[in-house]
Amino acid sequence: MSATLRRKVTLALLPACAALAVNLLGGPAHAAAAGPEGYGAGTTGGAGGGTTTVSSLSAFTAAVKGDAAKTVRVSGTITLSGQVKVGSNTTVVGVGSGSGFTGGGLSLDGVHNVIVQNLRISKAVGTDAITVIRGANHIWVDHDDLSSDLSHGKDYYDGLLDITHAADYITVSWNHFHDHYKVSLVGHSDSNAAEDTGHLHVTYAHNWFSNVNSRLPSVRFGTAHIYDNYFQNVSDSAVHSRMNAQALVQNNVFRSVGTAVTTTGDSKTDGYANLSGNDLGGAKTDITRTGTFTKPPYGYTLTPTSSVVSSVTAGAGTGVVG
């Protein structure tokens, strides 16, 4: 083969080699570039709008206001008290692996088309790290690091990611949730059936839950597809389906977990859960009703269960995208 021909072949193979390298690293960069898989598909955030880099609370608060398309890059750690509301058609993305917020969190209240990516959010006192609420829809929470600590009581912090009041079409992917009690609640109250029924469609994919207590997630009324996640050191229960919620739980790995999946307890009505391909690692299940949710209304690719731990621990959290 001539030198010229070798060069042409090499150039032709570069894209395929790059894609292979990403897949060997667990696939997160490719997944992020392609957009969210699951119920949040189609979320574009601030694509097509301007980009602003901020490093102070006042600059951040001003930058995320309004519904015009925009990308806001957070550089460094910004201290919050309470929550900052993010407008529609917005991407909030951290710079590098250590940027984000502490002391408070983000409110996605009644907005649509929002991406929250590559942020470290820690120790949101008395509130959620991220709240998705009041009909907010088409939301993608991706490659974030969300945590508090276990040295305070269960109610000192609230949730890391709570999705309530008829929020809908949400994908939660490649995040590291750790060192927290009540991690992720979908549907806030047993008495909210009138508002929540028919909403709260959420996909949890490729997340790493470690050193946590419960709500991974806990779902009322909604529909949750939970696949390719790694649950590690969970002192109480992981997936909890209640109040007629439907959960499809596929190809997840559980290690040092009390109860992997439950459909009963804490609410007056049980939920439903269907399981396939999971590695329970000795964890128990408490499933009283299996339900009808066996296939989501979208295409997706399952990671082989044997590869979930290596893929998720390599790819979840910050520093991979952004």
For the annotated catalytic residues, the residue numbers are: 215
Count CA atoms closer than 13 A to 319's CA, side-chain side. Answer: 9
**Which residues on neighbouring strands pair with residue 78, listed in sequence order?**
101
> How far, in Å, are 193, 226, 239, 260 from residue 213 at the CA level?
26, 18, 11, 12
Residue 308 per-residue DSSP state = H
Distance CA 177, CA 233 (A): 12
**Phi, psi (5° rounding) for residue 5?**
-65, -40
- 100: alpha, beta or left, given left = phi > 0 and alpha = psi -120 to 50? left
- 22: alpha, beta or left, given left = phi > 0 and alpha = psi -120 to 50? alpha
Structure tokens belonging to residue 90: 């917005």
